[in-house]
Amino acid sequence: MTKTLPLLTLTAVLALPGATMAAEDDPFLWLEEIESERALDWAREQNERSVEFLESHPYFEAIHARNLEILTADDRIAFPSLMGGQIYNFWRDANHVRGIWRVTSREDYRNERPDWDVIIDVDALAEREDQNWVWAGANCRYPDYDRCLVGLSIGGADAAVRREFDLETREFVEDGFVLPESKSYISWRDRDSVFFGPAFEPEQMTTSEYARKVYIWRRGTPREEAELVFEGERDDVLVWGSRFWDGDTPWDMIVRLPSFFTREYHVLRDGETVRVDVPNDANIAGIIGGQLLVELRSDWTVGESSFVQGALLAADMESVLAGEPEFQLLFQPNERQAVNGVSTTQNTVIVSILDNVIGQFLRFTYGEDGWTRERLNIPGNGTLSVVTTDDRSDAFYFNYTDFLTPSRLYEADAMADTHRQIRSEPSRFDKDGMTVAQHFATSADGEQIPYFIVKPAGFEANGANPTLLAAYGGFEVARTPFYSGLIGSAWLERGGVYVLANIRGGGEFGPRWHQAGLRENRQRVFDDLIAVSEDLIERGITSPEHLGIQGGSNGGLLTGAVMVQRPDLFNAVIIQVPLLDMKRYHLLLAGASWMAEYGNPDDPDDWAFMSQYSPYQNLSPDASYPKAFVTTSTRDDRVHPAHARKFVARMMEQDHDVLYFENIEGGHGGAANLKQSAYITALIYAYLHDRLNPASRD
């Protein structure tokens, strides 16, 4: 089966004093020392103050207990991963805090309680090895699936240990392929060789701290004697190599990312590389039946044919390598559509489409007469996602959900266009009387910005509803309707309104929607969230006293910037694992990899627009900010915790009231296990009720 190649998956601003602060004038640089005792003591002091306040809220204990109950419930869906015709699953619950990796047959999986065979118990492994292991996935060798490269992270960081594991003996392979903790890359080539990209020393890495060289490492030889087959540039984002399969045909592919949104694909044959001649910003979505699948992110003319941004194309792979391709158009989205994913089974291509942020599936098949297209008969009017596909049949599993419908898992046959529901999660909150609507807000430049609103039972448009507005707005990530027992029980059941905004910078309407918010256009992203906030107030949904915003990572930059620009609009701001110091973000951990999204602050032209919105630099002692809640993780080795630390330290220096919580482990997700997730989420909702629902303190 073809495996999809991964896609590495702000009105004018108030120019406040201090926007051009130089790094050498930064009094809080010491907080960039991640694990220094001084920095950690500071973090613990802030934690103690914030936790004492938030745990005292009357709702905290009940929300925390309910969160833990929901997150560890035995009746959650054990989502499948198909390999070699069997179902694999990684599972965490109250008894398996770190988790278990397990397997069962497709037939048994259809039963209400499958007979799972545990392969690796991470809790037992962590205890035996006295290490804080967090599961970081397993890459198993096609087509036999007899050996796997298992990832184990210390505390949830992106950097991980990789070890070869024998699925037959259920043991780690002595003298097998092993990598110590790092962001190094390793991927199967055949049973006795792997593609390997070291990221141990600065010379081996890009400025983004990822591998820039690709080696073939053969079994039984030292890592240091691996054969170099490709080398990228120091300023690239990363380079990696993998063997992809089209049925029984292997394709050794090396992918170089000069920037986050550009890539070069090279086929490795007989020790030589042949570049795949597609646009630099295109994404190869797979190879099936000898046909190369390509997603466009800009208009492209090849030969006598012209194709537009967002299209999905196909051409014979050998003709592409020979420089004589004849691409065919498979799908062209309209203004309100986007390709949201491409998957393959043995004989079909399944294309996930967003149509006005609602999901549907298209099926493509290739035969003597070329390509044929059908829309699959799939139920619902919410979010559809392919969970896993089979490489030995046309079976696949997909999930359906919306704001008020818990996940429903379906087993399907893409060729026969049949499906049946085999799992459904129970309701985690009482949805009686709740409604969902989609509205549009007009942004500063006239663009119509869609947003979904979930109203609680008994809702009245009186301007007094506690309202939580969430958004992301970056990296072509689409935010679609989803069911959350935590939001439902902690917020909606307690009278809160939930809003999800589909602002620019995301992928809800394809590449154009993303590119509209890039670099010098970043202010549009912030304007969009401001417009949705103002629209909610104008409609009487809420008021500034009762409106809060939430975002994480790039979304943390979003909420931080919007708070600084329009503090009058909000009474609660949640800023999670954020980017906030845009002057130094490219110098911290993986930050350099995102310059195609934000710009290069060392370039005066770029800093001219970045300095206008960078939250850390634009904080003002004269402003009246809402009492924000900022969270991060010490072990986040993607977005540096110093962003959050320094922002909070500066707010405190300027006598602004702010709450802070730093999880000492947890990685970029902020939590390393379900107990931590339950606790941190309870802190967040205690904060929201305290700020937006004053009656909750009575």
Half-sphere exposure of residue 266: CA atoms within 13 angstroms, side-chain side? 20
Say how far apart CA 59 and CA 55 lie, in whole Å.
9
Report how far apart, in Å, the C-alpha atoms of 348 and of each of 83, 124, 211, 250, 493 are.
17, 41, 34, 18, 43
Give the DSSP letter of residue 579.
-
Identify whether the C-beta of residue 549 lies closer than 8 Å to the C-beta of residue 469.
Answer: yes
Say how far apart CA 98 and CA 274 lie, in whole Å.
43
Say how far apart CA 613 and CA 609 lie, in whole Å.
7
* Options 553, 614, 633, 677, the catalytic residue: 553
Active site residue 668: yes
Say how far apart CA 275 and CA 267 lie, in whole Å.
6
> Three-state DSSP class for 15?
coil
**Could you tell me which of 475, 692, 488, 688 has the C-alpha nearest to residue 593?**
475
Identify whether the C-beta of residue 594 lies closer than 8 Å to the C-beta of residue 559.
Answer: no
> Three-state DSSP class for 175?
coil
**Could you tell me which of 405, 398, 380 has the C-alpha nearest to residue 482?**
405
How many other β-carbons are positioned within 10 Å of the β-carbon of residue 447? 17
Please tell me the chain's helix, strand, coil percentages from 3-state DSSP, rounded to the nearest 5: 25, 35, 40
Identify whether the C-beta of residue 422 lies closer than 8 Å to the C-beta of residue 409.
Answer: yes
* Options 242, 668, 689, 696, the catalytic residue: 668
Joined together, the tokens standing for residue 288 give 């099936």
Say how far apart CA 551 and CA 454 lie, in whole Å.
18
Say how far apart CA 275 and CA 542 lie, in whole Å.
55
Active site residue 553: yes
Say how far apart CA 508 and CA 478 lie, in whole Å.
5
Report how far apart, in Å, the C-alpha atoms of 276 and of each of 265, 319, 371 are.
5, 10, 22
Identify whether the C-beta of residue 492 lies closer than 8 Å to the C-beta of residue 456.
Answer: yes
Joined together, the tokens standing for residue 46 give 């802030």
Report how far apart, in Å, the C-alpha atoms of 181 and of each of 13, 152, 323 are.
43, 9, 41
Q: Find residue 273's DSSP bridge partners.
A: 268
Q: Whose structure tokens read 């970029």?
A: 668
**Could you tell me which of 338, 262, 636 has the C-alpha nearest to residue 506?**
338
**Could you tell me which of 63, 135, 73, 698 has the C-alpha nearest to residue 425?**
73
Say how far apart CA 356 and CA 333 lie, in whole Å.
11
Radius of gyration of the chain (CA): 25
Say how far apart CA 204 and CA 587 lie, in whole Å.
17
Say how far apart CA 111 and CA 122 lie, in whole Å.
25
Q: Which residues are catalytic?
A: 553, 668
